[in-house]
Amino acid sequence: MSSRVMIGLEIHIQLAGKKLFCDCTTESAIETVNGKVIERRLIATTGESGKYDPAAVYEKSRSRSFNYSVTDNSCLLEADEEPPHSVNSDVLKKAISTALSLNCQVVDRVAYMRKIVIDGSNTSGFQRTAIVGFNGYVETSRGKVGISSLCLEEDSCRKLEEHNGIVSYSLDRLGVPLMEIATDPDIVDEEHAVETAEIIGKKLLLAGWARKAPDAIRQDVNFSMGHGRVEIKGVPKLSTIKAAIAYEKERQTWLAELSPILKGTNWGRLKFQDVSHLFRNTKSKVIASNLKAGMNVYGTVLPGLAGYLKGEKYRMGIELADVAKLFGSGGIMHSDELPGYGVEDEIKGLVELLKPGKGDGFTIIVSTHKVIGLIQDAMIARLKKLEELDLPETRVVTEEGTTHYLRPLPGGERMYPETDVPSIAVEEALLEAARKISPKSEEELLAQLVSEFGISKQDASVILSTTQLETFQNYNLILGDSKLATRVILQAIPEMENKTGRPISIPDLIPVLEEAGRRKWDRQILERAMDLYFVEHMPLGDLIRSDEMKPIGGNELKSMIILLHNEAPVNPKNIIPRIRSRTSRPFSPAEALALVKEILG
The CATH number assigned to the domain holding 373 equals 3.30.1360.30
- Please say whether the beta carbons of 193 and 242 come within 8 A: yes
Q: Is residue 249 part of a domain?
A: no
Q: Is residue 402 part of a domain?
A: no
Q: Is residue 432 part of a domain?
A: no
Same domain as 285, residue 187 = no
**Total number of domains in the chain:** 4
Q: Is residue 399 part of a domain?
A: no
Give every CB contact of residue 350 below 8 A, 6+ residues apart in sequence.
275, 278, 299, 362, 364
Same domain as 381, residue 521 = no
Tell me what pLDDT residue 32 has: 67
Same domain as 569, residue 527 = no
Tell me what pLDDT residue 1 has: 40
Same domain as 524, residue 377 = no
Given 389, 404, 428, the domain boundary residue is 389
Pairing of strands 113-116, 109-110: unpaired
> CA dist 74 to 123, 252, 313, 400, 588, Å?
12, 42, 48, 33, 44
Same domain as 168, residue 153 = yes
Give every CB contact of residue 195 below 8 A, 6+ residues apart in sequence.
140, 141, 142
Same domain as 199, residue 57 = yes
Q: Is residue 484 part of a domain?
A: yes
Low-confidence ranges of the chain (pLDDT < 70): 1-3, 30-34
Q: Is residue 425 part of a domain?
A: no
Same domain as 572, residue 516 = no
Same domain as 575, residue 519 = no
Within 10 angstroms of residue 491's Cβ, the number of other Cβ atoms is 12
Round to the nearest angstrom and report the end-to-end CA distance of the chain: 92
For 481, the domain range is 440-549
Same domain as 177, residue 132 = yes
Find, among 199, 237, 244, the residue nearest to 217 by Cα: 237
Same domain as 221, residue 84 = yes
Same domain as 330, residue 224 = no
Same domain as 464, residue 591 = no
Q: How many CA atoms lie within 13 A of 33 on its CB side?
A: 11
Q: How many CA atoms lie within 13 A of 130 on its CB side?
A: 28
Q: Is residue 258 part of a domain?
A: no
Beta pairing partners, 298? 274, 365
- Please say whether the beta carbons of 112 and 75 come within 8 A: no
Give every CB contact of residue 585 below 8 A, 6+ residues apart in sequence.
528, 547, 548, 549, 550, 551, 552
Q: Is residue 435 part of a domain?
A: no
